[in-house]
Amino acid sequence: MPSSRNQMSLISITIFLLLLSSTLSAEKCHPDDKKTLFKIKKAFNNAYIFASWTNDTDCCQWYMVKCDRVTHRIYSLTVDKDDKVSGPIPDAVGDLPYLEILRFIRLPKVIGPIPHAISKLKNLTNLWLSHNNLTGPIPDFFSQLPKLTWIDLSVNKLTGPIPPSLSSLHKLNLLILERNQLQGPIPESFGEFKNIPNFYLRLAKNQLSGPIPRSLGAISFMGIDFSRNMFTGDASVIFGKNKEGLLWIDISRNKFSFDFTKVRFPKSLSNLLMSHNQIYGSLPPALGKLPMLQFFNVSYNRLCGNIPTGGQLQQFDQYSYAHNKCLCGSPLPPC
Ligand SMILES: *[C@@H]1O[C@H](CO)[C@@H](O)[C@H](O)[C@H]1NC(C)=O
Ligand SMILES: *[C@@H]1O[C@H](CO)[C@@H](O)[C@H](O)[C@H]1NC(C)=O
Ligand SMILES: *[C@@H]1O[C@H](CO)[C@@H](O)[C@H](O)[C@H]1NC(C)=O
Ligand SMILES: *[C@@H]1O[C@H](CO)[C@@H](O)[C@H](O)[C@H]1NC(C)=O
């Protein structure tokens, strides 16, 4: 009896050690992924940030890389904040077929256009290419990547229009294009984002123009930043009592011109910034009933009449109301 029990435990220890050694020694990383990562490293001149990417190590353990636990294929690649990484984004990034998250961010010497090879990444959900020095257009081929939910291309030198085809991305939830040199209007087709909850759209600091398409009135926005562009006309479609979940609106420094008197607001609104436009009419009394309002600026417009009392409106200083046609009442002088 005792000897057979010893035998059993010996066998299980042996099996355990065998398993342990196989997990320690086996290369988990897929050889195709490893080859591709070496191409990326080389294209970026073997910059020091890639120092851990060596041939004698498992690429699933490399810095900036994440492998799936089951398939051991690379699903995430993040290269962040480095000024030695230089040159265009290499076509090799298109050869990581399981990639879901691609982040090349804060790389001031990464230049050139967004490569077409990215259109091969059919599993991509997050594309972050912000704070680089990218040029050229926002590619049309993003519309062929149906899983995309987040796109951030902010702070680059991208030019040209916003492609209307982006609206075919039925999972897109966050689109940040601010601080580029984009021109033209917001596509009418963006109304197709209407079934997406909490849509977040930031287009600030471009050279965008034209009116806000009426179709945007159907979108459930969480946040909108259209500031510092050249938009014109009526922006009232983005407001409304029924826009529950809308937290902030920034339409400052454009050429919007519409009657503010009839505009209504959701209770959720916490930021309302609209200085430097040509907005006229009066401040609706409903503004004084917004419990969450924290940031507010209507200066440099053509508003007139009494500042409604109650709520938060008297807590903002006079500079939030300055330079209008004839606003009056606290915090401005009495009417
Ligand atoms: C990695 O090792 C393989 C096999 O030893 C070799 O064929 C390949 O050229 C090496 N790659 C690099 C980048 O050193
Ligand atoms: C995407 O992922 C699926 C399953 O995770 C996989 O079968 C497929 O090969 C991947 N790549 C492409 C390009 O579809
Ligand atoms: C971007 O590239 C331009 C030249 O194309 C260069 O002058 C500029 O300094 C670069 N920006 C950064 C942040 O490095
Ligand atoms: C409101 O905007 C004006 C104009 O840009 C600015 O001068 C003022 O400081 C702002 N007020 C607040 C409270 O931020």
pLDDT tens per residue across span 83-130: 999 999 999 999 999 999 999 999 999 999 999 999 999 999 999 999
Question: DSSP labels for 239-284?
Answer: --TT-TT--EEE--SSEE--B-TT----TT--EEE--SS--EE---
Report the alpha-carbon distance of residue 330 to residue 316 in Å, rounded: 10
**What is the CATH number for 47?**
3.80.10.10
Are 207 and 264 in the same domain? yes
Are 297 and 229 in the same domain? yes
Are 122 and 165 in the same domain? no
227-259 tens-digit pLDDT: 999 999 999 999 999 999 999 999 999 999 999
- Pocket of ligand 4 contains residue 297 by CB under 6 Å: yes
User: Residue 306 is part of which domain span?
Assistant: 142-147+161-335
1-58 tens-digit pLDDT: 445 555 555 555 444 444 444 455 567 899 999 999 999 999 999 999 999 999 999 9
What percent of the chain clears pLDDT 90, i.e. is strictly above it? 90
Are 98 and 64 in the same domain? yes
β-strand partners of 126:
101, 150
The predicted structure's pLDDT at residue 2: 46
The predicted structure's pLDDT at residue 141: 98
169-194 tens-digit pLDDT: 999 999 999 999 999 999 999 999 99
Are 97 and 52 in the same domain? yes
Are 114 and 256 in the same domain? no
Can you give the pTM of this predicted structure? 0.91
Last residue of a domain, one of 103, 136, 169: 136
In the block, residue with structure tokens 């979108």: 219
Are 216 and 281 in the same domain? yes
SS3 content of the chain, % helix, strand, coil (to 5): 25, 25, 50
Are 176 and 131 in the same domain? no
Nearest CA owner, ligand 1 atom 2: 55
Report the alpha-carbon distance of residue 138 to residue 116 in Å, rounded: 11
The predicted structure's pLDDT at residue 211: 98
| Domain annotation covers residue 254 | yes
Are 106 and 234 in the same domain? no
Are 181 and 299 in the same domain? yes
Domain count, the chain: 2
Report the alpha-carbon distance of residue 232 to residue 98 in Å, rounded: 43
CA of 27 to the centre of ligand 1 (A): 14
CA of 97 to the centre of ligand 2 (A): 6
Are 125 and 194 in the same domain? no
- Pocket of ligand 4 contains residue 324 by CB under 6 Å: no
Tell which one of 55, 57, 58, 62 to mutate to probe ligand 1, the residue whose CB is within 8 A of the most ligand atoms.
55
Tell which one of 275, 300, 313, 327 to mutate to probe ligand 4, the residue whose CB is within 8 A of the most ligand atoms.
275
